[in-house]
Chains A and B, each alone.
Chain A
């Protein structure tokens, strides 16, 4: 049914709209266009980026659902600094034809502009928890564990989709509940990936030293979810007080020196006041290689029902880190392999209690370009030149002996010469890997997933976090979460109507 519109009145707001009231008639700048997925119509529709004093918004008008206006940045200044000159993209070499238009042809199709950077796949749908914030859909009625044969096929698909990958990611459910986990990790380790990472809630790792030792032995990196240290918040976030279990998991990972990344979900009004201090506490520990902040997205069986339904923009998180006094907003820059509304990263050179944000050594665009080739930063010639120049500057000024020391270590790692940045992708990536393993570098990543309300095809089309299928498809993680998981009986259940067909 077409939407009836009052002739001179204002628009009604649809579900999920951030504005809270009609915005018709106000002065706002249209700063760009995109297309967005409408879950009510199951179709992509025109959408626009607009800006006013309140921030930058994704706006669209659906004939069925009305107007929706979702904040995507706090300020036009931030938005423009990340997106003003277009977005450098790197389309995959192999792609399927466009038949029904993004996101209906995912696999990827020829409209896709992002290369595979981080394959993410679920090895089980089993989990001990039913977290209210969980953005996936784990069916309890049919427990699924990925078989070794399925895994091998999947790894073939991944290898066919990319020349070199910094890391792959196994997720769940809770992967440590997979009965053949060591076998799967071993099979992954045999392939030529920079690193095998695995998500975990840590409940088993914390008190199963045998499993932890096996993980260590197989060289896998654990991505430990850690959202709060406050029991009352744990109840809201996880449905249970699991703070003690998290502390035990952290202790185990630290004791065994298992390379660890920590994953925190940023939930405005729940744990956003806690996260910067948690990051400051853990990021610079030896066993922690990086911390990833994921802004909450309202998808999945539980996540789509979570309240309060308040999103955070990347800029809001950056601002909060800046306000904490522990970090600086200027530490962050756009990750060159992703859409700037999806990833913002900070890199720190660390040594002996000192940390230097890379943005103090090289301009943000240089760093963005250095992340265009993979999930991790590449030591591009442009970047190494910047670092060498900085060394000379520090040497001449004799002002920061500590910084100079850290930089020298870094350059020694790069083997002291720009010539090491060879332009040969595999060499540069391997070098990047050794830098990342050295412990000299820590990464702080802010990553925004999308849900129905802010599902933006510009972000989907440039995504490098792809979910591989045994049948050969590689699909952007958010398209998978919102659209394609519903077609996979291993991860979807519910009334027949819940699994709606595509248009």
Chain B
């Protein structure tokens, strides 16, 4: 038996924090919680102890939040908002602008009777405060509910643009987008990325995950998005024994599409999902990586933990697009250490001066070292084109994103926590924060798992 950490977990029944530990026992990694009233509870968090052990080495300094939004501190997570215990700034603010939705997905993270939302005015106020603390705003995600159902949806995009957000994404089920050409035109014009929920090619599976058979609608929408030059990405919630067998096909589809990124979210059994599925349906980070790697475009070792967050929360791989069918892993491109340096504390690599310089230097290296008679000529041409465009310039964030859309594809795994695997060690390093109407910033998993307990 090995002890990896003593930590603080969550008791589902008591709805409060309890002492916990991460241990290896019987060749598996477990999170064990000790609740005074409900006894010891054990949750599987990884199958392969060696892989788990190695993943812990992916640590880079996090960037503390510049501002603390909680008015007082009585402990983590109850004083969330952010409190002084929090150790990571906001890489991705998420604005849940409406609780309205035209679906009732069994995998939804939100409780069935949740009530939340933002007016454009509240949104502007909290975003301004965040911009003040962060210095600048790179990314923003509009979410819900189904954000496109907000009657003043366009105003949010406009406010984000005015506040200098370099890239806005909209998490969407796509139904309104499919029906409304004006909405698609808005996204295309403002270069807003539609983050489309796309979990399966099988309508029966879709019924299980989304409560409706939506595959043909989604495929039709993707066709329209590509034809109308709407930037989009794919987000799949992965449920063990339901759609985990399709992850490889989803990855292959992604690389053959014009989608900018693929996000896999192993199901977190909290909210409505907690009523539909159990902890046995949650894929571990290792299982998710295994399902994606060794597919047509993703090689073993491409997906590495994001070093500024907890290794059980996020893994990513970035690919330089050498041709329509050839993608070179940025990690191979830069080397592991430089790759980690470039990817930490930011949601999109290469757009700040440090990352930009690292990638630029590497491009010159490749330019200098490529065998010009080899099969690498396509890559060479691509690099040359790229170099011409960035020569002697420091790109604005928006320009860098635009360039990135053409040249880079990314794959993320984002493992959200539920009551079973909730761990303060992970929570304090979270960089995905909900912007709340009351002016607070709350890490997604703190809100989703402990929302009712937050000292408001």
Q: Chain A residues in contact with chain B, CB under 8 A?
A: 2-9, 11, 24-35, 44-46, 48, 52, 61, 63, 67, 80, 84-91, 97-102, 110-111, 113, 456-458, 461-462
Contacts and interface: CB of A to CB of B under 8 A. Distances in A.
B445 interface: no
Interface in B414-431: 423-425, 428-429
Contact of A2 (B21, B62, B73): B73
B63 interface: yes
15 contacts: A2-B73, A5-B71, A7-B68, A8-B133, A11-B84, A25-B64, A28-B61, A35-B6, A67-B84, A89-B2, A98-B19, A102-B19, A111-B19, A113-B3, A456-B6
B327 interface: no
A461 B6 contact: yes
B340 to A, nearest CB: 12
B79 interface: yes
B407 to A, nearest CB: 30
B40 A86 contact: no
B43 interface: no
A97 B424 CA distance: 24
Contact of B36 (A11, A99, A457): A99
Contacts of A457: 6, 19
Given A33-B425, A44-B19, A458-B3, A84 B57 contact: yes
A63 B6 contact: no
Given A5-B71, A46-B8, A61-B84, A33 B34 contact: no
Contacts of A29: 59-62
Contacts of A24: 64, 84
Question: Which one of A8, A11, A84, A86 has the highest number of Cβ atoms from chain B below 10 Å of its Cβ?
Answer: A86
B387 interface: no
A44 B133 CA distance: 32
Tell which of B24, B49, B68 has the most Cβ of chain A within 10 Å.
B68
Contacts of A6: 68
A2 B76 CA distance: 12
A81 to B, nearest CB: 12
A46 B73 CA distance: 13
B8 A85 contact: no
Given A46-B8, A458-B6, A5 B1 contact: no
B1 A90 contact: yes
A387 B4 CA distance: 31
B118 interface: no
Given A30-B59, A61-B85, A101 B79 contact: no
B85 A46 contact: yes
Contacts of B4: 86-87
A34 B6 contact: yes
B429 A30 contact: yes
A30 B53 contact: no
B27 interface: no
Contacts of B34: 98, 101, 110-111
A63 B23 CA distance: 29
A92 B293 CA distance: 41
Contact of B73 (A63, A84, A100, A461): A63
Nearest to B50: A85
B7 interface: yes
B370 interface: no
Given A7-B69, A11-B84, A33-B8, A86 B3 contact: yes
Contacts of A63: 73-75
A4 B72 CA distance: 5
Contacts of B428: 30, 48
B216 to A, nearest CB: 46
A460 to B, nearest CB: 9
Given A2-B74, A3-B72, A4-B72, A91 B21 contact: no
B21 A111 contact: yes
B449 to A, nearest CB: 15
B83 interface: yes
B7 A35 contact: yes
B454 interface: no
B5 interface: yes
A272 B8 CA distance: 37
Nearest to A101: B19
Contacts of A86: 2-4, 24, 49, 53
B128 interface: no
A437 B71 CA distance: 63
A99 B36 CA distance: 5
B56 interface: yes
B62 A33 contact: no
B328 interface: no
B1 A101 contact: no
B248 interface: no
A87 B21 CA distance: 12
Given A4-B72, A35-B19, 5 more contacts: A29-B61, A32-B56, A91-B1, A110-B40, A461-B21
Contacts of A97: 39
B72 A2 contact: yes
A30 B19 contact: no
B59 A31 contact: yes
B67 interface: yes
A89 B68 contact: no
Contact of A26 (B18, B36, B64, B69): B64
B85 A88 contact: no
A5 B74 CA distance: 10
Given A3-B72, A111-B34, A101 B18 contact: yes
B3 A89 contact: yes
Nearest to B53: A85
A15 B414 CA distance: 39
B210 interface: no
B66 A113 contact: no
A34 to B, nearest CB: 4
A89 to B, nearest CB: 5
B74 to A, nearest CB: 4
A103 to B, nearest CB: 10
Contacts of A102: 19
Contacts of A101: 18-19, 34, 36
Nearest to A24: B64
B70 interface: yes
Nearest to B7: A33
A2 B18 CA distance: 20
A10 to B, nearest CB: 9
Interface in B183-241: none
A60 to B, nearest CB: 9
B18 A461 contact: no
Interface string B98-126: 00000000000000000000000000000
A4 B3 CA distance: 35
Interface string B47-59: 0010001001101
Contacts of A26: 64
Contacts of B39: 97-98
Nearest to B29: A86
B10 to A, nearest CB: 12
B433 interface: no
Contact of A34 (B7, B40, B60): B7
B87 interface: yes
Nearest to B60: A29
A153 to B, nearest CB: 30
Contacts of A4: 71-73
A465 B71 CA distance: 43
A24 B82 CA distance: 13
Interface string B271-288: 000000000000000000
Q: Which 5 A/B pairs are nearest by Cβ-Cβ distance?
A: A33-B425, A86-B2, A2-B72, A27-B61, A2-B74
Interface in B316-330: none
Interface in B151-189: none
Most-contacted residue by chain B among A11, A33, A52, A67 (CB, 10 A): A33
A80 B49 CA distance: 17
